[in-house]
Structures are given as C-alpha cells and as structure tokens.
Amino acid sequence: MTRPTINDVATAAGVSKGAVSFALNGRPGISEDTRRRILETAETLGWTPSPRARALSVSKALAVGLVIARPPEILRADAFFPAFISGLETVLSTRGHALLLQVAEHEDHAAYRRLVQEGRVDGVFVTDLQVEDERPALLEQLGLPAVVIGPHLGEQPGPRQAALGVDDAPGVRAAVRHLVDLGHTRIAHVSGPQHLVHGRSRRDAWSQALREAGRSEGPCVEADFSAESGARAMATLLDLPEPPTAVVFANDLMAMAGLSLAQSRGVSVPDDLSITGFDDIEISAHLQPALTTVHTDVVAWGRAAATRLLQLVDGVGGVVPDLPEARLVVRSSTGTAPHRRRTNR
Amino acid sequence: MTRPTINDVATAAGVSKGAVSFALNGRPGISEDTRRRILETAETLGWTPSPRARALSVSKALAVGLVIARPPEILRADAFFPAFISGLETVLSTRGHALLLQVAEHEDHAAYRRLVQEGRVDGVFVTDLQVEDERPALLEQLGLPAVVIGPHLGEQPGPRQAALGVDDAPGVRAAVRHLVDLGHTRIAHVSGPQHLVHGRSRRDAWSQALREAGRSEGPCVEADFSAESGARAMATLLDLPEPPTAVVFANDLMAMAGLSLAQSRGVSVPDDLSITGFDDIEISAHLQPALTTVHTDVVAWGRAAATRLLQLVDGVGGVVPDLPEARLVVRSSTGTAPHRRRTNR
DNA sequence: CCGATCGACTAAACCGGTTTAGCAGTCCTG
DNA sequence: CAGGACTGCTAAACCGGTTTAGTCGATCGG
C-alpha cells in the first residue's frame, strides 16, 4: 500500500540501508554487481525517493521560492508571471526542485524572513526590483541565495546573489529610433513608477535615445503600468498646448488604454499620433491599429533565472545562456509624423 | 548561528524533548508552570518550528499544489492565475501551508503522479476543467485530495474531492437579458473551446437565456479564448449575410479583439453593434467604448478553494463561505439595437 | 497502611533518507 | 609472512520534529 522506502529495498536486496543509499546515488564503495542488484530491486519495488526525508537529512529544502509582490492587481496585471513561471518550471522540474509561491505585500520583509526561517526554500527570485531596494541586502544578511530579475547590479553582488541582466534599454531605444526615423520630433513618454527599476530604466533609455538622435526631450508623464493610469497620461499629453506626435508607453497595457483614449477623442493613430508599447502581450497584435511594441521573451528569462539560482544554491559557477535580446516589432500604430508638424520644424 | 531546535529548548528549560513538543502543541500532560517556562525559553531562544522535520514526522507535506496546464500562452493569458493565487495564499499562509506550483503540458497526468509520488503535497487544485476530464478520477485513485475549480460535479464526488461551485451561467444570462432589454434580436456568441467546462457552460447559458427570452438562437462561433481567435470569430460574424446586432464574447480578451476588428471595419460600437465580455479585466473599463462585461471575483474563488482543500486534507467538514455571484457591469459597449434591425422584426 | 490510580514527565522509537565510523577480507609490499 | 593500504560492506548516528511506552511520586480509596 504505502510507498516502499529505502529500508524495504535494503532488506529485499539483502544489504544494508547505507549500501542502498550509496548505490542509488552512484557513489563509490559498492561493487558493480551489488549496485546493479540494488538498482534492480529498487526498480521492481517501485521505489521513489522521498524529498521530505532527503530534505531533512541534507538540510536543504529542495525548493526555491518566488515572492509575488503586487499590491492588488495593479503593476503588470499582464501575463508576466504565468510566462515567467513557465520558464522557471522547465528548469526546476528537471533538477528535482519545487517552486514555492508566496504572495506578499510589497516591502514585506516578513515574507522573506518567514521563507528562510521556516527553511522551506534554498533560494528565491526577486522580481519587481525597486530603485532603492532593500531586499537584496536583507537576503544577503539572511544568507539566502537570490537571483534578482533586473539589470546587473551596480554594486558588487554578494557571493550568494546574482542579477539576471535583463536590460530593457535596447528595446526602448529601438522604438525611439524607429519614431525618429519616421520623422517625429515631439516624442513623449508615459513611464512606469520611477521607484521601480524597470520603470526608471525604460524612461532613461527613452531620454538617452532622444539625445543620441539629437532630438530634444519630449514631455514625460509618470504612470503606474495600469490601464487606468495610461489613459489618464494620454489625456494629459493630448491636453498639452503642443501635444506630441508620438508616445512611447512603458508597457502594452498603458499603450492600449492610451490608444483607446486617443481614438475616442478623434485622434487618428497612426495618422495624427504614433504609439509604441512594451512587452508584446498577445492582444497587442490584434488591436486596430496593431500595436508597434517591444517583444520580450519572458519564458527565456525564467529559464535563465532558474538555472542561475540553482548554480548559486549548489555553490557552483557556470555559464548561463544569454538572454535573448528584446526586439522591436513594428506594426501599424506607428507611421510618419503628421505633415503639419514635419514642416513646422 | 544555526536555528535553535526543539532539543536546544529542552536542555535550556531543563526538560525532555517530548515535554517541549507537548507544551508547544498545547497538549495535556504538562503542568501550567512548566508549560509557561518552556514557552518562554522557546521565545527567548527564538525557536521556530521546522516544517521539514514536522513534515517527515507527521508524514504530511504541509503544502498543496497547483498545476498550471496552459499550452503556451493561450487559454486565458489574462490575469486569472495571479488573482487566483493571491486568494489561495491569503488562506494558506495563515494555516502554515505552502503553495507549490507545477507547470505541465496539457493533460499531463504525469505531473499529478509526480506530485503524489514525491509526496510533496497534501492536495491539489484542478483548474481549466474539461468536459470529460480524467483528472478527478485519477486523483481519486491516487488518493490525493483535490478541489476542482468548476461547477458542482454532476456525479457524486469522492470523499476526498470537492467542487468549488463556480457558476458562470448567471453572469452570462444577465448579459443576454441586458441585450434583449435593449431590443436586440440577433444575439451571437463567441465561445471558448467546447471541451472546457467554462467554455461550454457559458455557451449553454447564452443559449438558454435566449430561449427564456423567447428569442431564437443566434449564430455561435467557437474560439479558444485568445485574442487572435476572438478577432477571427468577429470577422466570421460580420461576414454573415445577416450579421448579428450584438455579440456575447466568452471572455474580455476576445471581446477586445472583436471590438477592435469591428471598429476597423467601420462598424460603430455600440451604435451598429453591441458587445459584451466576461471576466472584467482591468483594461476593459478603459477601452473606447468601455466594455460591458461580467465581473467575477477570482480572489474570492482562491480563498474559497484553499479553505475547502484544507478541510479535505484535515478530514474535517465545515462550511465554506459562499462565492460572490458574478455581476453584470454595464458600460458603453452595449446600446439599443440599431433602428433598421429593430423595425425589421 | 497498602495497592491502585492519576498526573507530569522522561526515554526511546519513528519518519526516510544521508553520512561517518568501523570492520572484515584481500591485495600489495618489504 | 607480518604490516599497511585498499575494497566492499555494515552498523549506527544524525537531521528535527511527533508519538508511544514507561517511570516516578503523589493522591486516593478501602
């Protein structure tokens, strides 16, 4: 009835418990004959290892944690987590590690404390990195390995930490260059929260790309990645005395909301106004006009993050596959700058 | 350095290991005096229980599992899982249970087998229920408690299983009645996959509500909940010799795509065509026109599902808080039926 | 006043693995 | 041919809790 244990295998094979453990783990000190015999009996008995027992014995949890810190449903209500998790799992499951989820209010150090206190995980992923984020320091102090989903840390990361090296800047820069090439001169930005790293880095990239192109920096409205805030920001921009001819949104959700709002005011996209997004969520390709946006491979991020974290946990080095670079997907929400503006300059 | 164990507490308090265990678990057989003394020393030593050890000892995992089976990013790329998980966690974390995630290819029985084999979980949630779903039977056979996210099972559920009792029908019926009240006579449906329970039940509700209202059943196009399929379905409907004046979409994502496609063809919403969705995702309120849709409280589902599963795991009965009923949110994507149609009848 | 009962607690087994110490037997060496 | 090294295995401790069996002293009934 109940699952066979290593003890059952031992008595069945006529050897000791320790010998079975050695054989199953491929350690030396067991002759080839006995090893084969042990493996065979284990097979026929249908033995499978008990992570519970192993975890207690080796003082490891054989699991890693992902803390989701999103207030209500704001902040990327998009498909980031499902896709990211999917990437994590493909790596973790083949390495015998489980993925533990915890939902915490932001700034919830207690959530991380509890994870390490209870010893349920061997490491964690840190998402939604903030600009002055205390969590890496906290985790370092707690001694819990961590992979931060964000750009490479400026300061030297601790020995048990790593940054994934995702960099949104090239994608945003490509979007800006695309707009510049279309002749736009007033290119605005609707940013994410500036206390979030990916909110700030996208804004910096927009600003820098404009400078590189020799364009003056257009207006920037800070929003919070939610559709509602995107619509509000679009309204603010349209109400400007000299509204922009192009808007770079920090994510698709806001871009969609902005697109809808513009259209409802009789502003034609892309004839009067060009719009770009970021993320390339599924719906973006099916809007009218289809959204020009930056495509990111979040599943690949997940795979890389999991690979790296397991390296940290096991204390080995190694090379992590490069992250695929974000690429601009040009659809029909961007077009040449409206004529009056073009001649204006 | 290392965390104090129950043994440390015992020697510090000058009692035996067993006594400490009794005291900490509030079992009889310990005098009030010693109990207090033990609790105090545990407190000052900063003792916290080790789920690892407890799990091995009581032969339970102290964790429950959620298997996410979504092919790539299709099937509800929406915010269902984040919200649902958030609801699960509020209950689980207060009860000392962890949430384990596993991503599986569709219909991957092996995923469930592994979970129970490894003994990592005490129970699981089953989502995306199919019409002829083999998973409940499989789990029953494996002896793993399960809560099915779907309507109450027709057949008597096993002793270790429960259905959550979510019912999409009232929401869909309300949407159809709303359209009927607005004078629509050709009310179409863009459904989800008919092998999924929530795909089929929404379609059945649409069909039934039309009959109840004395209207003939309009055209129905089967789609797969993705934006792309929603756009295709909308195109099919518009190409009909006698296109519908209203379309009930099985989710918001498809409704959004359908809305965009209709508008791009010069069909005015809601003047020429009324559209309703299902889910009420955040963007829906910020489209132009804002989407009339059915609001569901997925977080509450999560809470209820977790509560019920823990009851099953602990083998106790009990009452689970009622699920909040889905409610129709009327916005501006629905309006009175176009005049020509109205007089047609 | 003696044996039974009860309350409070200790000792030890147990969960299912890993790991270390030790113990035969064999082989090599001087 | 004794001594040391090596091979292949066993026995037992250990991880950190829970739980059962048992001990000891005090209380109680007869």
Residues 6+ apart with CB under 8 A from A91: A302, A303, A306, A307, A310
Average pLDDT over residues B207-235: 95
Dist CA B315 CA B308 (whole Å): 10
Look at residue A57 and tell me if it is in a domain.
no
Q: Write out pLDDT tens, residues A223-251.
A: 999 999 999 999 999 999 999 999 999 99
Please, are residues B124 and B146 in contact by the beta-carbon 8 Å criterion?
yes
Total number of domains in chain A: 3
* Same-domain check for residues B173 and B275: yes
* Same-domain check for residues A259 and A174: yes
* Same-domain check for residues B104 and B138: yes
Which band of pLDDT confidence, cut at 50, 70 and 90, is reported for residue B222? Answer: very high
A13-17, A193-197, B68-72, B225-229: lowest mean pLDDT where?
B68-72
Q: Does A106 touch chain B (CB under 8 A)?
A: no
DSSP string, B158-190: PTTEEE-----HHHHHHHHHHHHHTT---EEEE
| Residue in A53, A79, A283 closest to B56 by CB | A53
CATH classification of the domain holding B83 = 3.40.50.2300
* Same-domain check for residues A239 and A129: no
Predicted confidence (pLDDT) at residue A74 exceeds the cutoff of 60: no
Look at residue B56 and tell me if it is in a domain.
no
DSSP at B295 = E
What values do phi and psi take at B38, rounded to 5? -65, -45
Look at residue A58 and tell me if it is in a domain.
no
**pLDDT on residue A157:** 67
Q: Does A50 touch chain B (CB under 8 A)?
A: yes
Let me know if B27 is exposed, middle or buried by CB neighbors in 10 A (0-12, 13-18, 19+).
exposed
- Which residues in window 18-47 of A are less than 7 A from strand C by Cβ? 18, 21-22, 24-25, 47
Residues of B in contact with A85 (CB under 8 A): 68, 101, 103
Among all residues of chain A, which has the CA nearest to that of B92? A102
Question: What is the residue whose two structure tokens read 């003082």?
Answer: A59
DSSP string, A24-62: HTT-SSS-HHHHHHHHHHHHHHT----HHHHHHHHT--S
CATH classification of the domain holding A43 = 1.10.260.40
The percentage of residues in chain A with a pLDDT greater than 70, rounded to a whole number, is: 93
**B292 CA to chain A: closest CA distance, Å?**
15
Predicted confidence (pLDDT) at residue B343 exceeds the cutoff of 50: no
Look at residue A56 and tell me if it is in a domain.
no
Look at residue A188 and tell me if it is in a domain.
yes
Look at residue B121 and tell me if it is in a domain.
yes
Among all residues of chain A, which has the CA nearest to that of B53? A56
Dist CA A179 CA A170 (whole Å): 14
* Same-domain check for residues B114 and B25: no
Q: Does B110 touch chain A (CB under 8 A)?
A: no
* Same-domain check for residues B23 and B89: no
The ipTM value here is: 0.89
Residues of A in contact with B55 (CB under 8 A): 52, 55-56
Q: Write out pLDDT tens, residues B245-268.
A: 999 999 999 999 999 999 999 999
* Same-domain check for residues A187 and A249: yes
**Cβ separation A101–B103 shorter than 8 A:** no
* Same-domain check for residues B220 and B72: no
Predicted confidence (pLDDT) at residue B123 exceeds the cutoff of 90: yes
Q: Could you tell me the two tokens for A93?
A: 């499951």
| Residue in A226, A282, A286 closest to B282 by CB | A226
**pLDDT on residue B209:** 97
**pLDDT on residue A318:** 75
Look at residue B106 and tell me if it is in a domain.
yes
Q: Is the CB of B16 under 7 A from strand C?
A: yes
Q: Write out pLDDT tens, residues B63-92.
A: 999 988 776 555 445 668 888 988 999 999
* Same-domain check for residues B213 and B281: yes
* Same-domain check for residues A10 and A156: no
Please, are residues B223 and B254 in contact by the beta-carbon 8 Å criterion?
yes
Task: Choose the most confident range, by mean pLDDT, from A64-78, B102-116, B215-229.
Answer: B215-229
Predicted confidence (pLDDT) at residue A209 exceeds the cutoff of 80: yes
Q: Which structural domain, as residue segments, surrounds residue A80?
A: 63-165+298-323
| Residue in B56, B261, B281 closest to A288 by CB | B261
Look at residue A72 and tell me if it is in a domain.
yes
Query: In chain A, which ranges are continuous DSSP H helix?
Result: 6-13, 17-24, 32-45, 51-58, 80-94, 109-118, 135-142, 169-181, 197-212, 227-238, 252-264, 298-314, 339-344
A vs B, Cβ pairs < 8 A, gives 161
Q: Is the CB of B30 under 7 A from strand C?
A: yes
Q: Write out pLDDT tens, residues B141-189.
A: 888 999 999 887 666 667 789 999 889 999 999 999 999 999 999 999 9
* Same-domain check for residues B148 and B207: no
Q: Is the CB of A156 under 7 A from strand C?
A: no
Dist CA B312 CA B146 (whole Å): 8
Please, are residues A275 and A255 in contact by the beta-carbon 8 Å criterion?
yes
Please, are residues A308 and A316 in contact by the beta-carbon 8 Å criterion?
no
Which band of pLDDT confidence, cut at 50, 70 and 90, is reported for residue A13? Answer: very high
- Chain D bases under 7 Å from protein CB? 7-21
| Residue in A83, A102, A118 closest to B89 by CB | A102
* Same-domain check for residues A201 and A312: no
**pLDDT on residue A75:** 46
CA end-to-end distance (rounded Å), chain B: 82
